[in-house]
């Protein structure tokens, strides 16, 4: 709406009153993802079991060389049944590798991937549903580019990447490390202890890397959000860019944004790589230590050649599972940072919540009443004690200087906001006790700058009535003086209008919005500068249409051009958030006051 400043938030209201409330704890990955995964807990349990078996198979592969040396070759003293032993060990190795490792891993992968897609769909649906039901106070603080990045950008991708990594690698890595360590303890507990010390040190490095990476990802995501919003604005403003010949300027701004996020991405990746280098350097030192320890234990007679080779292979082979666990910690850091960002939206509360419990039906029609209504945006009062009754069937125009609160009254009637004090009633029913969507279905709204969806004309009109047939659509378009340009289009109602209705003129978009309101067949019409984008002839035609269509219904008109309100039953003049004058056009223009000054300023009397 035209004169609506930025509204106050709950936080600012608490600050103004000096009340401190404890912020709820930040959401965790499990607190958000866990409830969505609960319906799939048994398939997930099966997939985890399959991946765990896959880990045991890897352990068998690790020690195959040791068993080959000590059992098949008998430590150099080749036995007479060497080929039988070789066939047994080789067959077991092949079956364990093909079935235990590859087949089980693949089956687990199929289940995890199936659940992943349902998780992603549920997350997006939950986020979109929450955003779709939040109030205007929320949307005025969040850009569409930022919200879009939550749905299809890095935040959700980070969560899915963490899930994918854990599902594919963590269960197998845990069983591989656990079973391999168990075999090593039986073989030589001293060498196993040395190996355990290196693992503990590696875990410390993992935790340190996780914290550093989490901070780096948060910083990058904050910048990405800002850049995404800026770039989205540049793309949405393509019409203005062309009109004002801003191509070079916009390209410069885009280049600066790209350079900014590129530099941040470089810094993030370099720091993350340095954390990996620390862990890898420690791995080299640990391997050297293990070689020295293995030689020591072999010389003292505690190890066979096969067992020594088993420790060497185990140390090298366990690097992979340990790396997977380390990566899981790193990915958890970025996923947690993303969940915290998504959680700020999922936990956001609407300032116009639908009633919880007993819900009152919205009267199909009736008297509109504003009873002692006060309202403010931020710290600026807009309405200060409005008392007003509008009988059903009356046409009322709200006029007054810009910023006086006219459009705010309209937003309160639609329950896009709730008053800070007082009440708005329809048919004697307080709107706060009614479902917001049901309230808005009682109104046919034509805003000053109507939004046109990127689809066909037919689909844009069916927003008001999804079941409307072509005959009803054509009738509404003719009443709105829109059919004259629609029938000239090659595909008529199936014509695609482009993003935001870019293929239509301002007047054509306005006429479509009027046709949309007519098609809804509501008991109350609300026109907010509905004819401001029309030429004089079209405006007169629309005025005639409005008189015909609105007859017998409540009609609320918000206007700056006072020529459009001459035929209204009543004119309410708003000044400084209060009703300054109330009466018919002729009565108000005949007496001194703000309305006559406005009329004289437009030279209409």
Instruction: Give the separation between CA 558 and CA 403, rounded to whole angstroms.
Output: 12
pLDDT score of 17:
36
Q: Quickly count: other Cβ atoms within 10 Å of residue 364's Cβ.
A: 11
Sign of the Cα torsion 103, 105, 108, 114 reads negative
| Confidence at residue 113, expressed as pLDDT on a 0 to 100 scale | 82
Spell out the long-range contacts of 578-584 with Cβ–Cβ below 8 A and sequence spacing 24 or more: 578/383, 578/384, 578/385, 578/386, 579/386, 579/387, 579/388, 580/400, 582/388
The pLDDT tens digits of the residues spanning 28-43 come to 767 777 787 788 888 8
pLDDT given at position 281:
81
Inform me whether the pLDDT recorded for 554 exceeds 70. Answer: yes
pLDDT recorded at residue 19: 38
Residue 305's pLDDT band (cuts 50, 70, 90): confident
Q: How confident is the model at residue 346 (pLDDT cuts 50, 70, 90)?
A: low
Residue 21 has pLDDT above 50, yes or no: no
Could you tell me the strand order of the sheet in which 443-446 lies? 443-446, 524-528, 554-558, 395-399, 570-575, 578-583
Over pLDDT 90: what percentage of the chain? 0
Looking at 326-340, 392-406, 477-491, which range is the least confident one? 326-340
- Token pair of 314, please? 């185990």
556/527 Cα distance (integer angstroms):
6
Q: What's the pLDDT score for residue 502?
A: 65
| Interval 467-480 mean pLDDT | 82
Residue 2 has pLDDT above 60, yes or no: no
- pLDDT value, residue 587: 83
For 207, residues 6+ apart whose C-beta sits below 8 A from its C-beta are: 329
Neighbours of 214 (CB within 10 A): 19
Cβ–Cβ under 8 Å, residues 131 and 147: yes
Indicate whether 13 pLDDT > 60. no
Average pLDDT over residues 484-512: 76
pLDDT at 567 over 70: yes
Which residue, among 510, 370, 351, has the nearest Cα to 436 in the 3D structure?
351
91-127 pLDDT, tens digit per residue, is: 887 888 787 777 887 888 888 888 888 887 887 777 7
pLDDT digits (tens, 9 = 90+) for 172-219: 788 888 888 888 888 888 888 887 787 667 667 766 776 777 777 777
Q: The domain 25-346: what is its CATH number?
A: 1.20.1560.10
Q: When comparing pLDDT for 462 and 283, which is higher?
A: 462
Residue 532 has pLDDT above 70, yes or no: no
425-463 core/surface letters (b: 16 or more CB in 10 A; e: else)? bbbebebbbbbbeebbebbbbbbbebebeeebbbebbbb
Give the CA distances from residue 287 to residues 59, 282, 292, 326, in Å, rounded to whole numbers and listed in that order: 19, 9, 9, 18
Evaluate if residue 245 carries a pLDDT over 80.
Answer: no
pLDDT band at 26 (very low <50, low <70, confident <90, very high): low
Return the higher-pLDDT residue of 2 and 138.
Answer: 138
What's residue 531's pLDDT? 67
Residue 467's pLDDT is 78
Bridge partners of residue 424, in order along the sequence: 370
Fold type of domain 368-442+522-602 = Rossmann fold (3.40.50)
Reported as type and span, the H/E element at residue 446 is strand 443-446
Averaged pLDDT score across all residues of the chain: 75
The answer to whether 382 and 7 have CB atoms below 8 angstroms apart is: no
Sequence-distant (≥ 6) Cβ neighbours of residue 363 within 8 angstroms = 426, 427, 428, 429
Q: Are 509 and 450 in contact (CB under 8 A)?
A: yes
Query: For the chain, which residues make up each domain, given as ranges?
Result: 25-346, 368-442+522-602
pLDDT category, 10, cuts 50, 70, 90? very low
Nearest to 428 by CA among 482, 391, 469, 396: 391
Higher-pLDDT residue of 79, 190: 190
Check residue 559 and give its pLDDT. 78
Query: What would the mean pLDDT of 225-230 be, rounded to a whole number?
Result: 73
pLDDT in tens, 151-162: 666 677 777 778
């Amino acid at each position: 709406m035209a004169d609506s400043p930025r509204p106050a938030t709950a936080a600012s209201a608490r600050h103004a009153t000096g009340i401190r409330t404890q912020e709820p704890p930040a959401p965790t990955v499990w607190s958000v993802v866990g409830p969505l995964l609960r319906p799939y807990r048994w398939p997930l349990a099966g997939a985890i079991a399959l991946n765990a078996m896959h880990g045991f198979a890897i352990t068998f592969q690790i020690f195959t060389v040791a068993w080959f040396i000590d059992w098949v070759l008998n430590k150099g003293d080749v036995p007479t049944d060497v080929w039988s032993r070789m066939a047994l060990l080789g067959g077991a190795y092949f079956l364990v590798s093909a079935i235990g490792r590859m087949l089980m891993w693949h089956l687990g992968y199929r289940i995890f991937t199936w659940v992943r897609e349902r998780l992603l769909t549920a997350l997006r649906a939950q986020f979109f549903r929450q955003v779709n039901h939040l109030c205007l106070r929320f949307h005025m603080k969040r850009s569409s580019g930022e919200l879009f990045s939550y749905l299809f950008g890095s935040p959700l991708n980070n969560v899915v990447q963490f899930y994918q990594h854990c599902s594919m690698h963590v269960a197998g890595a845990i069983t591989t490390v656990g079973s391999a360590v168990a075999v090593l303890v039986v073989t030589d507990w001293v060498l196993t202890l040395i190996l355990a010390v290196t693992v503990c040190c590696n875990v410390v490095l993992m935790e340190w890397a996780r914290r550093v990476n989490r901070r780096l990802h948060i910083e990058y995501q904050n910048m990405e959000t800002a850049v995404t919003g800026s770039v989205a604005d540049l793309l949405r403003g393509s019409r203005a860019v062309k009109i004002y010949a801003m191509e070079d300027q916009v390209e410069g701004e885009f280049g600066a944004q790209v350079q900014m996020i590129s530099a941040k991405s470089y810094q993030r990746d370099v720091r993350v790589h340095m954390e990996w280098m620390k862990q890898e350097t420690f791995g080299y030192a640990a391997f050297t230590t293990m070689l020295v320890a293995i030689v020591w234990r072999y010389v003292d007679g505690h190890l066979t050649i096969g067992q020594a080779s088993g420790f060497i292979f185990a140390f090298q082979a366990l690097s992979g599972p340990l790396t997977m666990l380390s990566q899981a910690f790193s990915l958890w850091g970025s996923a947690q940072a993303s969940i915290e960002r998504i959680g700020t939206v999922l936990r956001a509360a609407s300032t116009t919540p639908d009633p919880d419990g007993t819900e009152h039906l919205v009267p199909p029609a009736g008297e509109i009443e504003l009873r002692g209504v006060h309202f403010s945006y931020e710290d600026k009062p807009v309405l200060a004690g409005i008392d007003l009754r509008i009988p059903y069937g009356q046409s009322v125009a709200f006029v007054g200087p810009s910023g006086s609160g006219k459009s705010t009254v309209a937003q309160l009637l639609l329950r896009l906001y709730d008053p800070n004090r007082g009440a708005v009633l329809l048919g004697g029913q307080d709107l706060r006790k009614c479902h917001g969507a049901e309230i808005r279905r009682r109104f046919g709204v034509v805003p000053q700058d109507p939004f046109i969806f990127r689809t066909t004309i037919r689909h844009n009109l069916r927003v008001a009535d999804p079941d409307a047939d072509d005959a009803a659509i054509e009738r509404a378009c003719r009443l709105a003086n829109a059919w004259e340009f629609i029938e000239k289009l090659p595909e008529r109602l199936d014509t695609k209008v482009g993003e935001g209705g870019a293929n239509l003129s301002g007047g054509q978009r306005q006429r479509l919005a009027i046709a949309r309101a007519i098609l809804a067949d509501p008991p109350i019409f609300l026109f907010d500068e509905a004819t401001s984008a029309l030429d004089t002839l079209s405006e007169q035609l629309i005025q005639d249409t409005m008189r015909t269509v609105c007859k017998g219904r409540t009609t609320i008109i918000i206007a700056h051009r006072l020529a459009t309100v001459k035929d209204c039953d009543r004119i309410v003049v708003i000044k400084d958030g209060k009703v300054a004058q109330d009466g018919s056009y002729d009565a108000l223009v005949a007496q001194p006051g703000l309305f006559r000054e406005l009329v004289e300023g437009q030279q209409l009397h």
